[in-house]
């Protein structure tokens, strides 16, 4: 089991006029953290496409804001797998600053065929990769 952690810093481009992180930026940070979590396990999303003709797509994402992040803050995104099925997975990602929860995200990804967008099962090697991120 691996829980993936990655640190980021908030830059001016991430904030609104008051220096608080703009809500949509959390989705971008979550995407980067998921990409790096998969990469840390030895593969990339491009490998899924090139080797199998498959893609990850976000099926559903919810964010629960607890405490704002602000300009120049350094924070950690913790990514872990909650569950997986044949063609979907459920990840949770927490944004932490100084150990305190700022934002909790609940993300459901689907695996689809690039050629037609239809659902497809994760290949066994990808199921194993995702399982390594399980809580």
Catalytic residue IDs? 16
Structure tokens at 81: 């797998």
Of 72, 59, 95, 85, nearest in space to 20 by CA: 72
| Three-class DSSP labels, 76-87 | EEEEEEEEECCC
Q: Among positive and negative, which fits the CA dihedral 94, 95, 99, 100?
A: negative
């Amino acid at each position: 089991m691996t829980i993936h952690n990655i640190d980021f810093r908030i830059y001016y481009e991430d904030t609104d006029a008051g220096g608080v992180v703009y809500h949509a930026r959390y989705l971008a940070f979550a995407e980067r953290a998921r990409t790096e979590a998969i990469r840390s396990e030895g593969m990339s999303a491009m490998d899924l496409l090139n080797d199998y003709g498959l893609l990850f797509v976000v099926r559903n994402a919810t964010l629960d804001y607890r405490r704002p992040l602000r300009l120049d803050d350094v924070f950690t995104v913790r990514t872990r797998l909650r569950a997986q099925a044949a063609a979907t997975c459920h990840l949770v990602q927490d944004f932490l600053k100084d150990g305190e929860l700022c934002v909790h995200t609940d993300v459901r990804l689907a695996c689809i065929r690039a050629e037609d967008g239809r659902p497809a099962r994760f290949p066994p090697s990808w199921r194993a990769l995702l399982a390594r991120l399980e809580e």
